[in-house]
């Protein structure tokens, strides 16, 4: 038993270290747009005089927490850059994100233990420690790591309440739910857990009403305290809430959501394997089905969590926008249900359970280690910047894509080089002859074309019916037919020795921030117009 615990702690430590590995992966470029948004808002906060984040894309908790952490770091190190320089504040944020992501491993252990005992707890924590999506999210200061943390606190509070209903239990669930809401509006989806925990627990209607009231009261109070401007600027909050709902539902379509055009309800299925590896989703699905089929024999709270998880995925399937990070809340529950299935198998047939354990852990850990290799190398944007500095003459004209800016020309070493840059929006509709002609004009002026990730190209090529000319351009740019030759390419494909896992089929935000493929083309033929007109009629 002691050897098992030592082995368990060893692998948990590795999972934690993977979360802290190279938190400066982009060289201070703040490439992730959501992270940059939160950091820029936190830079404007001044305690206690200026508390208005000035936006409602996310709620206030993560902004205030980042500002508070940055001020602590500035005082401890006597370095004011942590509260004035975006890159330095981002470092504080990423360290905070990795810290909360690591604590969440311990919370998964506690939740797994309360539902499946000590063996289930260890296996749950091991699965969660090595989920690639959660390792990736720990490297970014976005809302998702904190949302998962508060979801786990809410689940643990619900377990406590379910075993011994009390006012304190309702209070704790309310605080945890309020913290989730103060982080992101996705927290509204968490409210079903405490509601069902209270309603399904056998007790008088009067006590149910009392516990519901206590939970709701402390939820709202916590939400207000940690995100006051969601209430102070209530019209702005509601307006942004409606706007974001329209974006998620597809009523409003923007360039940055074009990748979801013509996708079906099962779009997330392949992404769940990129996010969590090959084993955990399969085991978790079987575990949840088993829980529901044998619901009379399963703990009531386990049934509630299975229903919530399935409902969450069903809602995600119905949405137009399906970013891979939206899967983050189900990661810890997948880990627990997968571990629970194996624990059950080990009790009935030990050899089956042991075989499943070994195969699932090897598959999950291997995918995590392969994925984490991207943080062991220099970011593609850093390598591309160095190449441009060394090989492209000052004054050269560079054409790039809008909505796909990874290289930072305002940072060293490129900030001192007077390149002539222009951007072309390939997402623009209609994709007609006029757009083609404007593209030709840009190409005739350009000395280089730089594709800074495959996000635009993949969407345009998949939607060739909407983008006949743009898809034609990408097809012939790669072949060299339009007069541009590929002269450099920088990529960071996840690999571990001979093991290579291509994630080009994943949802674009899984790959285009921390390991994009950047391709540089140089003009060979000045007669672009005639060639492109003949190829893309």
pLDDT per position as a tens digit, 308-351: 999 999 999 999 999 999 999 999 999 999 999 998 888 777 78
- Domain boundary, last residue among 333, 360, 375: 375
Output the CA–CA distances (angstroms, integers) from residue 358 to 126, 277, 354, 363, 390, in the order listed. Answer: 12, 14, 6, 9, 49
Q: Are residues 326 and 209 in the same domain?
A: yes
To the nearest whole percent, how much of the chain has pLDDT over 90?
Answer: 85
Is 54 contained in some domain? Answer: yes
Show contacts of 107-112: CB within 8 Å, 24+ apart: 107/149, 107/152, 107/153, 107/156, 107/332, 108/152, 108/332, 108/335, 108/336, 110/156, 111/152, 111/155, 111/156, 111/159, 111/332, 111/336, 112/335, 112/336, 112/339, 112/340
Cα separation of 291 and 297, whole Å?
8
- Which pLDDT score is estimated for 297? 81
Q: Are residues 153 and 278 in the same domain?
A: yes
Higher pLDDT, 530 or 386: 386
Q: Are residues 344 and 483 in the same domain?
A: no
Confidence of residue 378 (pLDDT cuts 50, 70, 90): very high
- Domain boundary, last residue among 324, 347, 375: 375
- Which pLDDT score is estimated for 5? 85
- Domain boundary, last residue among 329, 353, 375: 375
Q: Are residues 343 and 474 in the same domain?
A: no
Q: Are residues 233 and 100 in the same domain?
A: yes
Q: Are residues 458 and 405 in the same domain?
A: yes
Is 2 contained in some domain? Answer: no
Q: Are residues 389 and 470 in the same domain?
A: yes
Q: Are residues 290 and 396 in the same domain?
A: no
How high does pLDDT run on average in the chain?
94
Is 21 contained in some domain? Answer: no
Is 95 contained in some domain? Answer: yes
Residue 295 per-residue DSSP state: T
Strand ranges of the sheet holding 397-401, from the earlier edge strand across to the other edge: 420-424, 397-401, 448-451, 518-523, 484-490
Which of 148-162, 266-280, 349-363 shows the lowest mean pLDDT across its residues?
349-363
Q: How many domains does the chain have?
A: 2
Confidence of residue 202 (pLDDT cuts 50, 70, 90): low
Confidence of residue 3 (pLDDT cuts 50, 70, 90): confident
Output the CA–CA distances (angstroms, integers) from residue 213 to 36, 161, 220, 377, 514, in the order listed. Answer: 38, 14, 11, 52, 44
Residue 429 token pair = 């509709």
Q: Are residues 413 and 268 in the same domain?
A: no
pTM of the shown model = 0.96
- Which pLDDT score is estimated for 346? 82
- For 444, half-sphere exposure in the C-beta direction (CA atoms, 13 angstrom radius) is 13
Q: Are residues 218 and 278 in the same domain?
A: yes
Q: Are residues 360 and 409 in the same domain?
A: no
Which residues constitute the domain of residue 444? 380-535
Q: Are residues 276 and 394 in the same domain?
A: no
């Amino acid at each position: 038993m002691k050897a098992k615990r030592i082995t368990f702690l060893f692998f948990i430590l590795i999972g934690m270290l993977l979360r802290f590995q190279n938190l400066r992966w982009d060289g201070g470029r703040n490439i992730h747009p959501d992270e940059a948004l939160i950091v820029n808002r936190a830079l404007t906060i001044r305690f206690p005089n200026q508390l208005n984040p000035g936006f409602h894309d996310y709620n206030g908790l993560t902004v205030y927490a980042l500002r508070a952490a940055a001020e602590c770091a500035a005082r401890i190190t006597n370095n004011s850059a942590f509260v004035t320089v975006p890159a330095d504040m981002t470092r504080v944020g990423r360290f905070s994100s990795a810290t909360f992501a690591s604590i969440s491993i311990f919370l998964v252990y506690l939740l797994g233990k309360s539902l499946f005992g000590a063996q289930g707890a260890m296996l749950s924590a091991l699965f969660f420690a090595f989920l690639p999506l959660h390792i990736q999210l720990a490297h970014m200061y976005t809302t998702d790591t904190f949302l998962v943390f508060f979801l786990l606190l809410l689940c643990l509070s619900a377990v406590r309440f379910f075993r011994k209903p009390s006012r304190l239990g309702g209070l704790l669930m309310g605080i945890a739910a309020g913290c989730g809401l103060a982080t992101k509006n996705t927290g509204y989806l968490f409210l079903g857990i405490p509601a069902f925990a209270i309603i399904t627990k056998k007790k008088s209607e009067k006590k149910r009403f009392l516990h519901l009231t206590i939970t709701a009261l402390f939820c709202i109070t916590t939400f207000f305290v940690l995100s006051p401007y969601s209430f102070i600027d209530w019209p702005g909050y509601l307006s942004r809430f409606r706007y974001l709902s329209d974006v998620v539902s597809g009523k409003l379509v923007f360039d940055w959501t074009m990748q979801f055009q013509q996708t079906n309800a099962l779009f997330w299925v392949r992404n769940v394997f990129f996010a969590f590896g090959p084993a955990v989703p399969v085991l978790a699905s079987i575990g949840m089905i088993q829980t529901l089929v044998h619901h009379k024999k399963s703990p009531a709270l386990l049934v509630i969590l299975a229903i919530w998880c399935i409902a969450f995925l069903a809602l995600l399937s119905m949405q137009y926008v399906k970013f891979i990070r939206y899967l983050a809340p189900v990661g810890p529950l997948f880990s627990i249900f997968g571990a629970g299935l194996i624990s059950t198998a080990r009790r009935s047939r030990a050899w089956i359970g042991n075989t499943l354990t070994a195969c699932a852990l090897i598959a999950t850990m291997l995918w995590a280690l392969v994925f984490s290799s991207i943080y062991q190398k220099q970011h593609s944007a850093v390598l591309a910047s160095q190449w441009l500095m060394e090989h492209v003459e000052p004054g050269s004209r560079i054409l790039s894509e809008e909505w796909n800016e990874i290289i930072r020309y305002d940072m060293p070493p490129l900030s001192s080089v007077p390149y002539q840059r222009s951007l072309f929006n390939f997402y623009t509709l209609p994709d007609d002859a006029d757009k083609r002609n404007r593209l030709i004009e840009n190409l005739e002026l350009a000395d280089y074309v730089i594709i800074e990730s495959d996000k635009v190209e993949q969407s345009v090529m998949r939607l060739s019916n909407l983008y006949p000319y743009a898809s034609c351009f990408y097809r012939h740019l790669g072949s060299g037919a339009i007069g541009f030759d590929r002269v450099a390419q920088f990529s960071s494909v996840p690999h571990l020795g001979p093991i290579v896992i291509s994630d080009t089929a994943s949802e674009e935000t899984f790959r285009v921030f921390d390991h994009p493929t950047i391709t540089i083309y140089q003009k060979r033929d000045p007669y672009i117009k005639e060639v492109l007109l003949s190829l893309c009629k």
